[in-house]
Structure 1
Amino acid sequence: MRRAAEVWPFRPTVRYARTLAEALRAETIGGIVMLTATVAALVWANVSYESYAALRDTKIGPVALHLDLELVKWAQNGLLTIFFFVAGLEVKEEFVHGELSNLRKAALPIIAAVAGMIVPAVIFLLVSWGAPDAGRGWAIPTATDIAFALAVLAVTASAMPAALRAFLLTSAVVDDLGAISIIAIFYTENLDLIMLAIGVLLICLYGFLQYKRVKGVWIYLPLAVLAWYFVEVSGVHATVAGVALGLLTRVWTDDSEERSPSEAADHYIRPLSAGFAVPVFAFLSAGVQLNSSSLSGIFSDRVVLGVVAGLVLGKFLGVFGGAWLSVRLGLARLSEELHWRDMAAVSLLAGIGFTVSLLIGGLAYGHDPQRADAVTTGILAASLIASVLAAVLLNLRVRNRRRALDDV
């Protein structure tokens, strides 16, 4: 006889939850959920912008702790910390076990990623030169959205060599590390050194406990929340705490363990990030009114035009040019499985800014709602253009590869 705890509906519910969580670990599903949230935000904002804005700007949280924030701020400073914690885990894994563990292999994606941050920023500044507050937004086109980019690659070109996905993932991981560094250095105001020092001490304690093999989620969870709080109230963007905690999570497996703490954390937290944190952030950040005025602003507002040019053109030139130059100078080599046309297609994918670009756009122009909405429109338009162009080129590459194999 089965135990009472195992009878329906408990077992189907658990099985369904596990199936859902497993699906959310796949880039394709995560990208679809995020896209659905974005479309929902756009529909609501264009049907009733007042009610959407009222929800987005609703304040909740304890005033005494300085956490009476709008919902959109909770999404930016709270939920995205979960996303960046997962990004920190990915960076650590790449440095220890992945492509970044080998300097020769890492040179290609690292140089491509660095060039893919510098060139878009330069193009943005050139296009937006002289526009009011243009200098605040230079970092917006420097970021690549890992989830969306990998989702487009998985949907349109799953037959492409694994080396292409490895290049995109590794360069996007380096890109994320660069983006969070930019946020910490250039978008920090009113710094409270005492609060920051406490936050840093708590993050160091987390790392020390990881080093000492201390186990127990109920030790680390309160510690992580406290670290997040003190970094948040210090004036440094709280997502920095998420990346730092991810980087300090142990990636080595002991003899008594089936998987490392990093693998375990990724297994449980990635579905939360992909299925809730990022979609909610997208929903609360992407709702802009799409009318003739806002769409024409893409071409008339030089800041918005700079964002579009930086993401679509700058990312392509930076990533592809950086990869080509690193091979040309003998600093790296291209995998025998890949052709430069493949690299061109995946370089276009790097122009999908979305999550981090929306975050930086909000930090740069949050004081000016009209400009912030215009920049959001530009980010969405650029990400759509980059997605379509990359999907078309990737599809052509898949067909050409199949044709070449058939001829053999």
Structure 2
Amino acid sequence: MSAPHNRRSIFLGRMSLPERNFIADALRAETVGGVLLLVAAVVALLWANILGDSYESVRGFHLGIGSIGLDLSLQHWAADGLLAVFFFVAGIELKRELVAGDLREPKKAALPVVAALCGMAMPALVYFVVNTVGGGSMDGWAVPTATDIAFALAVLAVIGTSLPSALRAFLLTLAVVDDLFAILIIAVFFTSQLNFLALGFAVAGLAVFYLLLRKGVRGWYIYVPLALVIWGLMYNSGIHATIAGVAMGLMLRCHRRDGEEQSPGEHIEHLVRPVSAGLAVPLFALFSAGVSISGSALHDVFTKPETLGVVLGLVVGKALGIFGGTWCAARFTRAELNPDLRWPDLFAVASLAGIGFTVSLLIGELAFTDDPLLTDEIKAAVLTGSLIAAVLSGILLKIRNAKYKKLCEDEDRDEDQDGIPDVYELGNPEYHLRMAKLLEAKAAEHRRLAEVASGANAGDDGPA
């Protein structure tokens, strides 16, 4: 018999009920937002290709106050302003994962963190190899490294594929870690000039934000104006303004105290997520995804090294990186895959992570700011790569959809109708007592119906 400490842990096993419920709520909101994101992207493409001049005029329209350095086009307001809301939610998600989710335990965190790192390193490597061979620019190496969880979930919703909660949770945790490293890439590699005075004031504003939170000060009328000031200072500092959103999200308390149904971070995330998923990200897509699609443009996507590197990075690099990293980490940590799942299931999810829409578009704009034509070609490559990844992963997931559907039904079954899925009560004596009474009641009902049917048949055989 093996010693207890040699026992292998289960990878992608059943989560705790509170964690399962939280993730289900979060993914539900992301799915709705993803569908809106998909619609916005389609509208942007149609608008740009049918009424291209009006599209360019609208997204190039400037608003703001030039004297404080905030006279921006609508496209830049969406990329620098609205996406700060998206990254604020990402910061809260990361904080919650670190204090209450899978990332709080190093052993559990190892697999998604390694998967995310490999899932970012491999696309960058693919891009590097393609552009080394083809003689292209290395500036776009970070474009295919990001995963768009909302778009990925929208694909699942559109193709009608069930996905067990363990795989959904893995995809969400993967995306959270992915967002963290994307933020670091933006902060480190896309900051050219720094205004130290503005940066100093932004840091001071964040310190005030943190102290107010720790003192328990409440009131949106305090935090919203302060957040806007911090965002404006961060924008003027030369660091991408979305970093301010992440920093503020990470400062919120996301662990529950005695008597709390929700932590402050969870409560604020619940309020802000619909704004992020339903408004901020779709508007960013509307003003960023509009690129001209023609035969020559599609030809360029597959012939230019920069664009081909992005497509292959998303489609090939993401799938191989996440799958290979996870498999190696599982072998190293002696983790066994959930017996209800197979490694091809993980490969399908890894392929789904190749949808890199939102953050990839943002990094594409930052990487080729001085070359508008190449920027549009990179965006076309992001759209093409994301579409190919969506189709391939959709096919792979559909193959196993019958199995996934059964697993989801087993996870959600609640025979005693007490609001708790039966799989979470199998060791509870009260549950077995309730089930015994329920089965007894059903048996009694069946006997009564049989007696009624028997009496009816006897009547039919009577005096006619």
So what's the TM-score if we normalise by structure 2? 0.79
Partner of 2:196: 193
1:17 aligns with none
Q: Is the 8 A contact 1:79 1:278 kept in 2?
A: yes
Q: Counterparts of 1:175 and 1:24 in 2: how far apart (Å)?
A: 16
Q: CA deviation at 1:153?
A: 3.5
Shift of the 244–393 alpha-carbon distance from structure 1 to 2, 3 Å rule, reads: same
Aligned-residue CA RMSD in angstroms? 2.2
**Where does 1:155-234 land on structure 2 (aligned, <5 Å)?**
155-156=158-159, 159-234=162-237
Q: Name the CA shift for 1:259/1:399 in 2 (closer, same or farther; >3 Å).
A: closer
Are 1:55 and 2:58 matched, yes or no?
A: yes
Structure 1 spans left out of the alignment, 5+ residues:
1-21
Distance in 1 of aligned mates of 2:189 and 2:26: 36
The answer to whether residue 325 in structure 2 is matched with residue 314 in structure 1 is no
Counterpart for residue 287 of structure 1: 290
Equivalence for 1:277:
280
- Matched with 1:124 is 127
CA offset at residue 256 of structure 1? 6.5
Segment drifting more, 257-266 vs 182-191? 257-266
Residue number in structure 2 paired with 1:246: 249
Could you tell me whether the CA contact under 8 Å between 1:163 and 1:335 is conserved in 2?
Answer: no
Query: Counterpart of 2:394 in structure 1: which amino acid?
Result: A
Instruction: Tell me if structure 2 keeps the 8 A contact 1:312–1:386.
Output: yes
Q: Does 1:353 align with 2:356?
A: yes
Say if 1:24 and 1:274, in contact at 8 Å, map to a contact too. no
Mean Cα deviation higher: 195-204 or 76-85 = 195-204
Three-state SS of the structure 2 residue aligned to 1:64 is helix
Shift of the 163–230 alpha-carbon distance from structure 1 to 2, 3 Å rule, reads same
Superimposed CA distance per residue, residues 259-278 of structure 1 (whole angstroms, 9 cap, x where no aligned partner): 22211211111111111110
The match for 1:370 among 362, 369, 373 is 373
Q: Conserved in 2, the CA contact under 8 Å of 1:24 and 1:270?
A: no
8 Å Cα contact 2:135-2:305 kept in structure 1: no
Q: CA deviation at 1:204?
A: 2.2
Distance (Å, rounded) in 1 between the aligned partners of 2:78 and 2:261: 34
Structure 1 residues 111 and 332: alpha-carbon distance in aligned structure 2, compared to 1, 3 A threshold: farther
Partners of 1:23 and 1:113 lie apart in 2 by 20
Task: Give the TM-score normalised by structure 1.
Answer: 0.90
Identity %: 50
Partner Cα separation in structure 2 for residue 401 and residue 263 of structure 1: 29
**Cα–Cα, structure 1 residues 225 and 117, in superposed 2: closer, same or farther, change >3 Å?**
same
The letter of the residue matching 2:155 is V
| 336 and 247 in structure 1: CA distance in 2 versus 1, 3 angstrom threshold | farther
Please identify, of 371-380 and 100-109, the stretch whose mean Cα deviation from structure 2 is larger: 100-109
CA spacing shift, 1:202–1:332, aligned 2, 3 Å: farther
Q: Which residue of 1 aligns with 2:262?
A: 259
Which residue in the other structure is 2:154 paired with? 151
Tell me: CA distance 1:312–1:155, structure 2 relative to 1, closer, same or farther (3 Å): same
Q: Verify the 8 A CA contact 2:136 2:305 in the aligned structure 1.
A: no
Correspondence for 2:385 among 382, 388, 397: 382
Q: Distance in 1 between matches of 2:144 and 2:98?
A: 25
Deviation string, structure 1 residues 190-212 (Cα, Å, up to 9, x no partner):
11112112111211221222222
Give, in angstroms, the shift of residue 400 of structure 1.
Answer: 4.8
| Aligned equivalents of 2:123, 2:64: Cα separation in 1 | 37
**Structure with larger Rg:** 2
Amino acid at match of 1:220: Y
Q: Alpha carbons of 1:50 and 1:362: their partners in 2 closer, same or farther (altered >3 Å)? A: same
CA distance in 2 between counterparts of 1:392 and 1:138 reads 28
Supply the distance in 2 between the matched residues of 1:212 and 1:330 (Cα, whole angstroms). Answer: 41
Q: Which residue number corresponds to residue 28 of structure 1?
A: 31
1:132 CA displacement = 7.0
Name the aligned partner's letter for residue 254 of structure 2: V
2:70 to 57, 67, 72: 67
More divergent stretch after superposition (109-118 vs 126-135): 126-135
C-alpha change, 1:196 and 1:402, in structure 2 (3 Å) is: closer
Which ranges of structure 2 fall in alignment gaps of 5 or more residues?
1-24, 409-464
Give the counterpart letter for 1:44 in structure 2: W
**Residues 161 and 338 of structure 1 are in contact (CA less than 8 Å); yes or no, is this contact kept in structure 2?**
no
Post-superposition CA distance 1:144-171 (Å, at most 9, x none): 0011123334555654321101111101
In 2, the alpha carbon distance for the partners of 1:332 and 1:231 equals 43
- Range with greater deviation from structure 2 (244-253 or 155-164): 155-164
- 1:25-48 CA distances to partner (integer Å, 9 max, x unpaired)? 622221111111111110111112
How far apart are the structure 2 equivalents of 1:25 and 1:276? Answer: 16
Using the TM superposition, give the Cα deviation of residue 299 of structure 1 relative to its aligned residue in structure 2, in angstroms.
1.4
Structure 1 position 402, deviation (Å): 6.3
Taking the TM superposition and a 5 Å limit, the aligned residue runs for 1:82-101 are 82-101=85-104
Tell me how many residue pairs correspond in the alignment: 385
Tell me the SS of whatever aligns to 1:69: strand
Shift of 1:307: 0.2
Pairs within 5 Å for 1:101-112: 101-112=104-115
Which one-letter code corresponds to 2:329 in the other structure? S
Evaluate the alpha carbon distance shift between residue 332 and residue 142 of structure 1 in structure 2; reply closer, same or farther with a 3 A threshold. farther
CA pair 269-170 structure 1, distance change in 2 beyond 3 A: same
Query: Which range is displaced more, 353-362 or 323-332?
Result: 323-332
